[in-house]
Amino acid sequence: MGTEIERKYLVNGDTWRQGAEQLPCAQGYLATGPPVSVRVRIMGGNAMLTVKSGKTGITRAEYEYSIPVEDARELLSTACTSAVIEKTRHLVQYAGMTWEVDEFHGENNGLIVAEIELESEDQPFESPPWLGPEVSHDPRYLNSSLSKHPYREWADG
């Protein structure tokens, strides 16, 4: 079984940008659950179909499969049940770990979150100075939620 253990945080400042690798990303949802979400994503020159369990929290079942980019483009334009998310993923190295900092565009413009994938829920890691509050347990920050209820619409956003 595929498992994803991921913690998610808001970001303070922009010092994380120094030396970050950037990848454009478009992703949409074929199903947003519960109990599962099914996502199609084009990032850089690759496309993936991903199935995740619908639970919030830091551990979820995850299954990812490579698909042709043309198939992904067609799915994004014809089969998504909600808005396609546009973002730039920045890969940031810090203290021997890779952080994925997602800078959202369009209806989610202004939202920047950092994610770190872990081997276990209790794996220690060093927090970078630009890390803000943890939002791992807030379902509003799930990409599947952002596709239906974008950051721009939040009263406190």
Catalytic member of 29, 63, 65, 151: 29
Task: Calculate the CA dihedral of residues 51, 56, 57, 60 and round it to 10 degrees.
Answer: -20
- The verdict on whether 9 is a catalytic residue reads no
Residue type at position 59: T
| Residues whose CB falls within 8 Å of the CB of residue 12, separated by 6 or more in sequence, listed in order | 130, 131, 132
Distance CA 30, CA 8 (A): 23
Q: Which residues are known catalytic residues? A: 29
